[in-house]
Amino acid sequence: HHRYAAAPMECRGVVGLHDPRTDSVTIWSATQVVHWVRREAAAVLRLPEARVRCLALDVGGGFGVKGHVYPEDLLIPFLARRLARPVQWIEDRREHLMCSCHSRDQIHDVEVGFDDEGRILALRDRFIVDCGAWNPIGAGVVYNTAVHLTGPYKIDALAIEARIAATNKVPNAPYRGAGRPEAAFAMERIIDLVATELGLEGTDVRLRNLVRAEEMPYRVGIPYRDGEPIVYDGGDYPRALRQALAALGGVADFRDRQRAAREKGRYLGLGIGCYVEGTGVGPFESATVRIDPSGKIFVSSGACSQGQGMETIFAQVVADTWSVDPEDVVISLADTAAIAIAFGTIASRSTVTLSAAIHGASERLRAKVFAIAANLLECAASDLELRKNGVGILGVPGAEVSLAEVARAARPGWDHRRPPGVDAGLEETYYYEPPTVTWSYAVHAAVLEVDIELGRVSIDKYAIAHDCGVVVNPMLVEGQIVGGAAQGIGGALLEEFNYDADGQLLAGSLMDYMLPTACDIPRMVLIHQHSPSPLNPLGVKGVGEGGPIAPPAVIANGVCDALRPFGLEFNRLPITPQAIQQAIASATRPR
């Protein structure tokens, strides 16, 4: 799996401002982890964290490349303090491609044992990761690859050995998927190679090895990177495979079309890619929920939005929790001044962890709201329920008080209306520490055509059956999946960092680093499955990183299927026109 990168719409940037009166520093950074930046900046500047504020404004895409601290995050506030003036640094595209972290870049050597029906009996994978000149986050990506290798399949005998190599390339760090696309590519190619060896359909081999719905929850037998045993927490993998293929018209119908096309000199292929994804990883996320005297609900967190629609999603969560309209919710993200301790947005985790933190803070705050409302309504707190923008007595229409009235009653002072023993104010902070990850999954399938003269791959149909538990906002979920799949297609066919013999990067601009355009992305059919996770209050699972995981395997399997008459197998990415032309030129002509 070759080296490529996130290439977000907006590159990185940092602005630093020093206030000499208080000897405090404010940092505006295009980052996914404002509290981590604050912590490191405070250490470098030798300032208390209380004197360092970090904010992330509207960041034009992150995808992991902005998910850790860079030297510029520390150098710019240092210079602002030293020079006693604001300092700004904005990264251009050439700098971004040359200096911001790259990703992927793994080589796998896989051995597989299987029976005559295609059931996998044993799997051994030895792989090496080129981490570049240094490793910003340790072995997280490498371990991700290892624990996601078996995907949704039952494999009783498993051996994995991973090595990390330091080279003089740009550092290797997470990019959307973070080790999972590499695992899925290795596993899904193995499945198709087994099917080819036995003369079976890849679909049939998959169905014989997939974990079945009645086997859930399924214990894999290895630990996740949080140290907890991996247990798939629900879902129906075979159904997802059947639904994705049905959306393409079915395997039998495709084989008829494929045979007819070959008679006319056209080469169609069917590609399949399955994966599972551990989402909602810890160690924690925090939320502060406050009701102000206007009755509006204010929520703050260190999660950082990069265009996913977080403000919309969490406003919906809060609105459902408190029986108010989303317009009555104020969301403040990515500002260390708004909440003292938080983690940030990485690893398909924010909907899981932040929604649970909001739930926890709201449960605590609701007890206080009910206590004050009971005092105002002269009833027991157990007799109350949430109503539209307020609290009322069960079964008594009109007997209610608004949240604004409760907030005013909660104020400190001589005229408060709190019951004895209830402190002033309506604000709670909760730190959600997930017990372990939830498990999303999906099946991607595509019908494609290979032009053997030009080497061009054209995707005709693309279907995705996925499960991210409870869907909070279907439109935003679909945007995440389709956008991620587009990135995966780009990685499979176009994007690549090459170096010359002297170690010089050959892709220093978007003229050389090829990104997919609208013309390269097919219309995608999405099928939603719903298996709520039992591990968090809302039953949600992560979805942000899932889209790019399967497309490289789907494209490779589809191209191999299309060119089966030539006896070709593509186990290296990207699958460029040149690679296809060279492989066909050296192959036996089709039968």
**Euclidean distance between CA atoms 185 and 180, whole angstroms:** 8
Give the architecture (CATH level 2) of 103-204+237-280+437-585.
2-Layer Sandwich (3.30)
Contacts of 433 (CB under 8 A, 6+ apart): 282, 283, 284
**Euclidean distance between CA atoms 308 and 60, whole angstroms:** 10
**Euclidean distance between CA atoms 314 and 9, whole angstroms:** 24
CB-side exposure of 250: number of CA atoms within 13 Å?
3
Residue type present at position 532: P
CB-side exposure of 315: number of CA atoms within 13 Å?
14
What mean pLDDT comes out for the span 125-144?
91
Is beta strand 285-291 parallel, antiparallel or unpaired with respect to 427-432? antiparallel
**Euclidean distance between CA atoms 325 and 133, whole angstroms:** 50
Give the pair of three-digit tokens for residue 21.
């009166």
CATH of 285-432 given 3.40.1190.20, 2.40.10.120, 3.30.365.10, 3.40.50.2300: 3.30.365.10
**Region label for 55, one of left (φ > 0), alpha (ψ between -120 and 50) or beta (otherwise):** beta
Per residue in 279-296, pLDDT tens?
A: 999 899 999 999 999 999
Per residue in 174-209, pLDDT tens?
A: 999 999 999 999 999 999 999 999 999 999 999 999
Q: Any idea where the domains of the chain sit in the sequence?
A: 3-99, 103-204+237-280+437-585, 285-432
3-class SS string, 180-219:
HHHHHHHHHHHHHHHHHHHCCCHHHHHHHHECCHHHCCEE
Taking Cα atoms as reference points, which of 408, 284, 295 lies closest to residue 353?
284
What mean pLDDT comes out for the span 234-262?
97
Give the pair of three-digit tokens for residue 491.
């990685």
**Euclidean distance between CA atoms 558 and 449, whole angstroms:** 8
Residue type present at position 337: A
Rg (CA), the chain: 26
What mean pLDDT comes out for the span 471-488?
95
**Euclidean distance between CA atoms 160 and 502, whole angstroms:** 34
**Euclidean distance between CA atoms 259 and 591, whole angstroms:** 12
What mean pLDDT comes out for the span 146-159?
97
Angle formed at CA 336 by CA 470 and CA 316, multiple of 5 degrees: 25
Percent with pLDDT over 90 in the chain? 92
> Phi/psi at 451 (nearest 5 deg)?
-85, 110
Per residue in 341-400, pLDDT tens?
A: 999 888 888 999 999 999 999 999 999 999 999 999 999 999 999 999 999 999 999 999
**Euclidean distance between CA atoms 31 and 34, whole angstroms:** 6
pLDDT class for 590, splitting at 50, 70, 90?
low
Q: Are 358 and 326 in contact (CB under 8 A)?
A: no
The CATH number that domain 3-99 falls under is 3.30.365.10
pLDDT of residue 587: 86
Q: Are 386 and 341 in contact (CB under 8 A)?
A: no
Residue for token pair 């992927």: 104
**Euclidean distance between CA atoms 103 and 142, whole angstroms:** 11
pLDDT class for 134, splitting at 50, 70, 90?
confident
User: Are domains 103-204+237-280+437-585 and 285-432 of this chain identical in fold?
Assistant: yes
pLDDT at 492 over 80: yes
- The neighbouring-strand residues paired with 132 are 166
3-class SS string, 516-561:
CCHHHCCCEEEEEECCCCCCCCCCECCCCCCCCCCHHHHHHHHHHH
> Phi/psi at 551 (nearest 5 deg)?
-55, -40
Per residue in 7-58, pLDDT tens?
A: 999 999 999 999 999 999 999 999 999 999 999 999 999 999 999 999 999 8
**Region label for 391, one of left (φ > 0), alpha (ψ between -120 and 50) or beta (otherwise):** beta
pLDDT of residue 589: 66
Q: pLDDT averaged over the chain?
A: 95
pLDDT at 591 over 60: no
